[in-house]
Amino acid sequence: MESLAGRHALVTGGGRGIGRSVAATLTKAGAKVTVLGRQEGPLKDAVAKGQASAYAIADVADAGAITDAAKRAAADAGPIDILIANAGITGSAPFARTTPDQFRSIFDINVMGVVHSIQAVLGGMIARRFGRIVVMSSTAGLKGYAYVSAYAASKHAVVGLVRSLALETAKSGVTVNAVCPSYTDTEMVHDDMARAARKSGRTPDDVLAAILKDKPLGRLIKPEEVAAAVLYLCSSQAAAVTGTTLTVAGGEV
């Protein structure tokens, strides 16, 4: 893999989990990385540990805030060449007990947050004839899971966005792709398992075993494995790869 030296990457949801691992991987490849999120502590920690070069605080659900943050990041570190639209939230409930407001809150982050992030940087990428946009979807964007209808619907939506936008930008030098990991060993997944354990009266280990029982790989995906897929899609070697979903799921899909 060639160096990403001279490239500026913006990673939303970059303070922890997959976003943090992606930021560290792109930094190691030579990119200048700005991590963006709502909580300053994890973002500052990523910079302090050399996993990113700068951070910005913004809520991706707020179009104005993400646009302003992207402009400030570009002014400080140069035009944004790479966008990793990773920020996302989960939610679990039977469909019959999932309210319209719960659907809206998940879509505000998982779908409109991606839309706002892309719109904040796409014009500059097209003008410079280079850009890499990688949207973090999920195996839930390719198949259904029970009790997460709002989350699965949001992840299907961003896959559709990626496929459509890739057609619009195919000749522009900008690629648009999605990465679809299965359950990944992150704080968010462990938090979800802990909540499920409390609701069901099971132990977290029992919840994990239930999750993994139909997973061919038999383990959670490592964040570094997802980050490696992102790194490939950001490279010049992937210039002809656009509108696709790169699945990191150990054979599940």
Show which residues are catalytic: 151
CA nearest 175: which of 184, 183, 165, 185?
165
162 DSSP 8-state letter: H
* Angstrom distance (rounded) from CA 240 to CA 137: 20
Among left, alpha and beta (phi > 0; psi -120 to 50; other), residue 84 is: beta
Structure tokens given for 141: 């964007």
Structure tokens given for 102: 């719960």
Cβ(83)–Cβ(177) under 8 Å? no
